[in-house]
Amino acid sequence: MEFLLYVNDKDEFAYARGTYEDLDNLLEPFTHNNIGSILNHIKNKYSITKHPNYDFLRKEYSNMFDWDSNRKVAEMIESIVKKKVSI
Where exactly are the structural domains of the chain?
Answer: 2-84
In this prediction, residue 14 carries a pLDDT of 44
More confident residue, 85 or 37: 37
pTM (two decimals): 0.30
Q: What is the 3-state secondary structure (H, E, C) of the chain?
A: CEEEEEEEECCEEEEEEEEHHHHHHHHCCCCHHHHHHHHHHHHHHCEEECCCCHHHHHHHHCCCCCHHHHHHHHHHHHHHHHHHCCC
pLDDT at 7: 46
pLDDT in tens, 72-83: 555 666 666 555
Q: What is the spatial order of strands in the sheet that 47-49 belongs to? A: 12-19, 2-9, 47-49
Residues 8-66: tens digit of each pLDDT: 444 444 444 556 566 656 655 554 555 556 656 555 544 444 445 545 555 554 445 44
Instruction: Give the pLDDT score at 53.
Output: 55
